[in-house]
Amino acid sequence: MHVTNRSIFHPHPHGTYRIAVNDKVESTTVYLYDEIGVFGVMAEQFVKDLEGIKTPRIDLRINSPGGMAFEGVTMYNALVRHPAHVVAHVDGLAASIAAVITMGANEVQIAPNAFLMIHEPWSMVVGGVDELRHEADVLDKVAGKIVETFVQRTGASQEQVLDWMGDETWFTAEEAIAAKFVDAIDEEPNADGAKNLFDLSVFARTPAVLLESKTPPTERDLERVLRDAGCSRAQAKSIIARGFAAEQREAAVPEPQKELREAAPVPKDAVAALLAKVDIQLATARKETEA
């Protein structure tokens, strides 16, 4: 099964990236509510859009789990060299390389219920010992530059920043201000930006509140998964319809029988559970198509 365009952070459709100029034409708001990199916002597009902004102020509203390090560094540098006064607003989450991007602003504000997270950079590599050692050296260099960025913003020592990164530290709004990553609480946060759009289970120390707030998948989400798996749109809709019909029949089962069925283990993830139920239907649909 080949599944295309699947990010580790996106169990659902991608977030939002857009630019809005206010009525007074004094400031421009950039909404960065997505992953950084190939599955979300690419640096090339971000930099081009930023270069086109001529207002004296830019409000960068962020809700991002991070993503590709060098894409994020490019975006950070673009913010630093822009002549406008940039105010970064952490509306929901600024994690990983998204935290670095945030540091490119002239000032940073954070919503009372938002988080900022920093950790050591990751990489994926396949090869022998020489390739692995080389990749480790590269990661050390990347980490070193990220440490410099955080030290410059916070005034903390390199040792302190390295400890925070090594511990995968999740800062609440108050903690981020105390550590001087953030300047102040945002008095007018964007409530929509505080929603957790991402699967953060890939991280080791994600706060429970962020793991529990994932939005349940919609029928459209499930249809996208099935179409990525090779189904036609009609097949996907048919499978989903039969799957939800099965759910309704399950709900109508008398209590004694329902208790027997509930004794069997059920996958926790809603998407995995539904796909498991329709797996046979998927195979059947493909056979029908081939016939």
Catalytic residues, by residue number, are 96, 119
Vertex 127 angle, CA 123 and 128, to 5° = 120
Strand, helix or coil at 154? helix
Q: At what angle do helices 270-277 and 219-228 cross, to 10 degrees?
A: 60
At 224, the amino acid letter reads R
CB distance 166 to 120 below 8 Å: yes
At 263, the amino acid letter reads A
With CA atoms as reference, report the closest residue to 53 among 77, 30, 87, 24.
30
CA distance linking residue 179 with residue 290, whole number of Å: 61
